[in-house]
């Protein structure tokens, strides 16, 4: 992307420069961390569809490569296309979590390679964890098998609690013990 921009600037290739000048602000937002990478990919897919649908020919007539400005009518068309893209993105966002849930729910069974892929650990480390019983595995005829669902759950179980979560757990425990102590007391009157 940056190479295309520098080539467009050096060689004054106005067609490349026009296209790259539209992509570059979003590329910078991704590098700065403002836009998540998955939204960046979705945006470029939709933007490519808009460009291939003849949008570029609409605005290229009104684009001045010397001043790099859009005329008023072209600006309205750009805004309307971006608003349509925004609507499409708002339709896609709720489905992203469903897709990720489906990917995680799809259980795969495999050997040591699957465990290496999911955990990112070395083969010898996985063998040591299995020998110590610290990682979920199945064994059939001297061969280790791993379930992707079990491995993901194992990774999630290793989550360290935050200070706030620990304080809430302590408060819950103290309130439960206090309730059990007060409910067990028998009050007798001594008149």
pLDDT tier, 109 (very low <50, low <70, confident <90, very high otherwise): confident
- The pLDDT, as a whole number, for residue 104 is 61
Structure tokens at 71: 């005329």
Instruction: Calculate the alpha carbon distances from 48 to 13, 21, 54, 191 in Å.
Output: 20, 14, 10, 88
Rounded to 5 degrees, what are φ and ψ at 144? -90, 135
Mean pLDDT of the 25-29 span: 53
Domain ranges of the chain: 2-93, 109-157
Rounded Cα–Cα distance for residues 28 and 94 (Å): 25
Helices within 120-188 (DSSP H only): 123-131, 148-157, 163-184
> What is the DSSP secondary structure assignment for residue 63, as one 8-state letter?
E
Residues shown for the chain: 191
Q: Encode pLDDT of 57-81 as tens digits.
A: 555 555 545 444 445 557 778 788 8
User: 54 falls in which pLDDT band (50, 70, 90)?
Assistant: low
pTM over 0.75: no
């Amino acid at each position: 992307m940056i190479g295309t921009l520098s080539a467009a600037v050096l060689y004054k290739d106005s067609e490349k420069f026009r296209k790259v000048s539209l992509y570059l602000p979003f590329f910078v937002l991704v590098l700065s961390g403002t836009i998540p990478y998955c939204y960046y990919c979705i945006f470029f897919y939709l933007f490519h569809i808009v460009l291939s649908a003849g949008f570029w020919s609409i605005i290229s007539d009104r684009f001045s490569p010397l001043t790099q400005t859009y005329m008023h009518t072209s600006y309205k068309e750009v805004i309307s296309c971006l608003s349509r893209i925004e609507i499409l993105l708002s339709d896609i966002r709720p489905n992203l979590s469903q897709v990720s849930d489906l990917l995680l729910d799809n259980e795969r069974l495999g050997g040591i390679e699957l465990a290496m892929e999911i955990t990112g650990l070395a083969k010898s480390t996985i063998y040591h964890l299995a020998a110590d019983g610290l990682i979920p595995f199945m064994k059939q005829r001297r061969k280790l098998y791993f379930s992707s669902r079990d491995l993901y759950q194992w990774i999630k179980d290793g989550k360290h609690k935050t200070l706030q979560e620990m304080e809430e757990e302590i408060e819950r425990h103290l309130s439960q013990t206090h309730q059990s102590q007060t409910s067990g007391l028998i009050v007798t009157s001594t008149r």
